[in-house]
Amino acid sequence: MKITQLMMAIALATVPVMSAFIEKAVAQQEAVVQEELAPIRPQGNGYSQPGSPSVFVQFDLFDALSNGNPILDLEQKNDKLGVFFGAIENYNIGTGRLLVDEKEEVVRDTSGFAQFEIPFTSQNTLFDVGNLRAELIPSSKDSEYKGSEVVEYTIFGSGKDGTIYQKNQRTLPCCNFDTKRAVNDLEYILQENLLDGAIATFQNPIIPNRFIGGRLYRTGIVTRNIPEPNTTIGLFTLSVMSAGFLLKRKMK
């Protein structure tokens, strides 16, 4: 009992003396933590799908998982098909309205993000994490793309049935994009913002209203926030326990 009381007294007495050491150790540890956490805070694009200025769907696109690992193409050997599990997050249906000018064109800010006249309000989250498929489709000469290559981006769920929620098509030659990377490289798809302007060609019947023919718009940057561990308590506890252990050994 006396040893335990003495250990507690020493622990309390050493707080002022150890504070400078602990602060320095904490600062060093926090720097390490910041360096380690930096790669696992991936940014993504937030997209809105209107059928007119009215927005019915919003979702986020990421090229990395929450642990920082890149999302790789499951069809790497197929240069006409790309499948990316976990690329789509927070697929919400709701209501909102984009801001348009007198020519009925969507207004964008200096960063190129589409602006809202009425902020989007989510009514239902259809899934938290879903998938993206990119497929190269040679269009016919009779189509509106006049024989140009088209990439179709399909959003589908993670269930066994792989429910398709929407499809959007984007022509590539007009914008000088790398066709192969537009299909097989999710980082390229995200950085080049290839979904922005892609035209909706399919809508799941469970989604209210219709946006067939509407264009996708990027409406912001989204970032995952990962809480940092509190290192101060751990360092102090370790210091006190070490001091007590050494004292106990000397008094035996």
Render pLDDT for 133-164 as a digit per residue (tens, 0 to 9). Answer: 999 997 655 455 555 789 999 999 987 778 99
Q: Output the pTM of the full model.
A: 0.72
Tell me: pLDDT of 115 over 60: yes
Q: What is the pLDDT of residue 8?
A: 53
Instruction: Yes or no: say if 66 and 57 are a contact pair by the CB < 8 Å rule.
Output: no
Q: Give the pLDDT band of residue 246 (cuts 50, 70, 90).
A: very low
For residues 174 and 247, the model is more confident at: 174
Q: Euclidean distance between the first and final Cα of the chain, in Å? A: 14
- Tell me which residue of 101, 98, 89 sits closest to 120, measured CA to CA: 98
- How confident is the prediction for the chain on average, in pLDDT? 78
Q: Which residues 6+ apart lie within 8 Å of 148 measured at CB?
A: 139, 171, 172, 173, 174
Q: Given a cut of 90, is residue 120 above it in pLDDT?
A: yes
CA–CA distance, 218 with 59 (Å, rounded to integer): 10
Are 56 and 211 contacting, i.e. CB atoms less than 8 angstroms apart? yes
